[in-house]
C-alpha cells in the first residue's frame, strides 16, 4: 500500500515563529535570538578575582523568512514583531537583508535584526 496523500492545512507551523513586519506576516525558519551580557570583573589588591557582575548587552538575531507569493522582501530599518519565548511580543529592527533565493515557487531571504532598546 502506498503512502497517504500529502496534506497541508496551512496551519502547521512546527519549529517556526511568525514574524510581523509592517502589514505582512512571514514564517521564520532557522530563527535565533542571542541575549549576551557584558561581564565586569573586580579584582582585589593582589589581582585575584573578588567579584563579578553581568550587564545585559545588545540583543541580536538572525532568521530565514519565507516570502509568500506576491509578498515582498522586508526593508532595512523596518520594525518587526515576534514572540521568541512564550506570548510576550518583542520588537526588533532589521539591520541586514540578504539576497532572495527560491526553490520552485518558494522564495526565502536571510535577515539579521537587533532588539529595539
Higher pLDDT, 17 or 33: 33
Q: Which helix (H) or strand (E) holds 107?
A: strand 106-115
Provide the whole-model pTM.
0.78
Residue 86 has pLDDT above 60, yes or no: yes
Residue 96 has pLDDT above 90, yes or no: yes
DSSP 74: P
Mean local confidence (pLDDT), 63-81: 92
Q: Residues 44, 36, 94, 90: is their CA dihedral positive or negative?
A: negative
Integer Cα distance of 73 and 68 in angstroms: 10
Query: Could you read off the pLDDT of 44-55 as tens digits, one per residue?
Result: 999 999 999 999
Q: What is the CA radius of gyration of the chain?
A: 20
3 band by pLDDT with thresholds 50, 70 and 90: very low
Question: CB–CB of 98/76 below 8 Å?
Answer: no
- For the chain, the helix, strand and coil percentages under 3-state DSSP, each to the nearest 5: 0, 55, 45
Q: What is the pLDDT of residue 97?
A: 97
The rounded mean pLDDT for the chain is 86
Amino acid at each position: 500500500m502506498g503512502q497517504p496523500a500529502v496534506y497541508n492545512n496551512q496551519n502547521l507551523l512546527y519549529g517556526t515563529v511568525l514574524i510581523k513586519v509592517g502589514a505582512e506576516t512571514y514564517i521564520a525558519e532557522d530563527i535565533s535570538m542571542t541575549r549576551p551580557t557584558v561581564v565586569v570583573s573586580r579584582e582585589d589588591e593582589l589581582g585575584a578575582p573578588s567579584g563579578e557582575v553581568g550587564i545585559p548587552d545588545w540583543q541580536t538575531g538572525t532568521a530565514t523568512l519565507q516570502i509568500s507569493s506576491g509578498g515582498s522582501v522586508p526593508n532595512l530599518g523596518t520594525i518587526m514583531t515576534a514572540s521568541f519565548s512564550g506570548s510576550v511580543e518583542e520588537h526588533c529592527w532589521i539591520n541586514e537583508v540578504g539576497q532572495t533565493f527560491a526553490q520552485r515557487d518558494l522564495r526565502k531571504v536571510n535577515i539579521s535584526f537587533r532588539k529595539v532598546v
